[in-house]
Amino acid sequence: MAEMDTSSGGGHKKGPGVKKGKKLSTRIDLTPMVDLGFLLITFFMFTTTMAKPKTMEINMPYKDPNMKVEDQSKVKESTALTILLSKNHRVYYYEGIGSDPNNPPKLEATTFREKGGIRDEIIAKEAKVDAMKRAGQLGPKDQTTILIKPDTTSTYDDLVNILDEMSINAVKTYAIVDISGQDQEFIHLTEQANGGK
Amino acid sequence: MAHASLPRKSTNVDMTAMCDVAFLLLTFFMLATKFKPDEPVEVRTPASIQEIPLPDVDVMLLTIDLKGRVFFAIDNKNMRKSLIENIDQYKNLGLTEAEKNSFAIGSSVGVPFNQLKSYLDAPPDEAAKYSANATGIPVDTSVDNPNNELAAWIRSARNTNPKLRICIKADGDASYPSVQKVIKTLEGWKIFKFNLITSLKAVPVGSAAYIQAQAAAEKKQ
């Protein structure tokens, strides 16, 4: 019982039989704390969004029902390339804007392939416009203009892909335009000519 | 051969260093974290080479899912409160204060106005279920159409905060007409500049954009 009796009494002096309090180690087992720390890290790692989503900025052509015809920007037939987006991620394109009813444009079908797809056609068109500029057929301010006409059967993927092609090929002037009934007719005819596909 | 007995070592390791590292990482993640916003529906965004990050504040997010349902969200809680007050007045929805608060702390909305009251009345755990079966906000190509409720949302949101940047987050397989309706609505309010949310993909080697990026990188060095 002598060991228990350390604090009682008032005297500072401890008797010869009284033992000193055992010195406790200051070391604590940190393992549970580390466990907790890593648990929380895991939680935060899973809930966090590190990579911020990327965005594509898009400018639609200014539209106003009261806009006068002479204020609307005109696209030159020779600098224009019209791209029609159709079903099954198919892409149709033709030179010019297809405004001449007597001389209907010849549609070509292609896809978004890396090689031999629409990208090559855009590059070819840019080269053609550059050549015409050098030959003096076009003014120095003229540049390749691409009209994008997504058909009702196309998907959002197609739209983003074609807009992406614009930035990949550094096309400065392009516009998303509503598809006309005439263009839909062109697609229909081309599909039939290709065996109804 | 004499067997030299090795001194028995203690298996206790000093955990202090490990603890330090763990808490350092913990602090980093806690400060760097921004919780994933509640998404009403799963959307697979198409990939593009664009690297413009999504702005942090003043974002109006229009989500279009696979089936063409439209969900509407804005980011700031105070803004959401004033938006719902604005909408309540504009459309005479007769929402209670509790319902308005439920909107302010909620996330995306994808229900027509006639269901909004019951949607906001639902407890938070049921609201998620409600979103899964929601019909989406009715939208049309013309802003003058009274059924174009998205137009009303956008109008009120822009009245509350004119600085809002409009972001469209659509599923890659969503049909173009469903996206077109949203774009037409924006155009109806004379918004011709907006952002499409995309995931990142690599710039194709040899393309014009690739050459520009290379030139820019060389200039920096």
Alpha helix stretches (DSSP H) within A48-180: 118-134, 156-168
CA distance B119 to A25: 60
For residue A120, tell me if it sits in a domain.
yes
Structurally, chain A folds into a number of domains equal to 1
CA distance B138 to B182: 10
Residue among B18, B22, B209 whose CB faces A168 most closely: B209
Reply yes or no on whether the pLDDT at B26 is more than 80: yes
**Chain B stretch 51-70, residues whose beta carbon is closer than 8 A to a beta carbon of chain A:** 51-54, 64
For residue A29, tell me if it sits in a domain.
no
Query: Comparing A20-24, B24-28, B152-156, which segment has the lowest mean pLDDT?
Result: A20-24
- Position A17 scores a pLDDT of 61
Residue among B18, B48, B179 whose CB faces A164 most closely: B48
More confident residue, B129 or A111: A111
Global pTM? Answer: 0.76
- Position A49 scores a pLDDT of 67
User: Per-residue confidence at A101, pLDDT binned at 50, 70, 90?
Assistant: low
Query: Comparing A84-98, A181-195, B10-24, B51-65, which segment has the lowest mean pLDDT?
Result: A181-195
What domain range is A104 assigned to?
Answer: 76-193
Q: What are A108-148's pLDDT values in tens digits?
A: 888 888 788 888 888 888 888 888 888 877 777 788 888 88
For residue A9, tell me if it sits in a domain.
no
Residue in this structure with the two tokens 């309010």, named with its chain if needed:
B189
For residue A32, tell me if it sits in a domain.
no
Neighbours of B8 (CB within 10 A): 6
Quick one: three-class SS letters along B47-60? EECCCEECCCCCEE
Using a CB-CB cut-off of 8 Å, the residues of chain B touching A33 are 15, 19
Residue among B30, B53, B190 whose CB faces A54 most closely: B53
Task: Determine the average pLDDT of the residues in B99-128.
Answer: 80
Radius of gyration of chain A (CA): 37
User: Per-residue confidence at A3, pLDDT binned at 50, 70, 90?
Assistant: very low
Q: Is B189 on the interface with A (CB under 8 A)?
A: no
Element (H, E) at A41: helix A31-47
Q: For an interface test with B, which of A31, A33, A55 has the most B Cβ atoms less than 10 Å from its Cβ?
A: A55
Using a CB-CB cut-off of 8 Å, the residues of chain A touching B64 are 156
Reply yes or no on whether the pLDDT at B128 is more than 70: no
Average pLDDT, chain A: 78
CATH of the domain at A142: 3.30.420
For residue A64, tell me if it sits in a domain.
no
Of all residues in chain A, the one with the smallest CA distance to B19 is: A34
Q: Is B35 on the interface with A (CB under 8 A)?
A: yes
Alpha helix stretches (DSSP H) within chain B: 16-32, 77-91, 97-105, 113-121, 124-132, 149-160, 176-188, 208-220
For residue A126, tell me if it sits in a domain.
yes
For residue A4, tell me if it sits in a domain.
no
Q: What are A150-193's pLDDT values in tens digits?
A: 988 889 988 988 988 888 888 888 888 888 888 888 888 888 87
Using a CB-CB cut-off of 8 Å, the residues of chain A touching B209 are 167-170
Query: Comparing B8-12, B24-28, B159-163, B197-201, which segment has the lowest mean pLDDT?
Result: B8-12
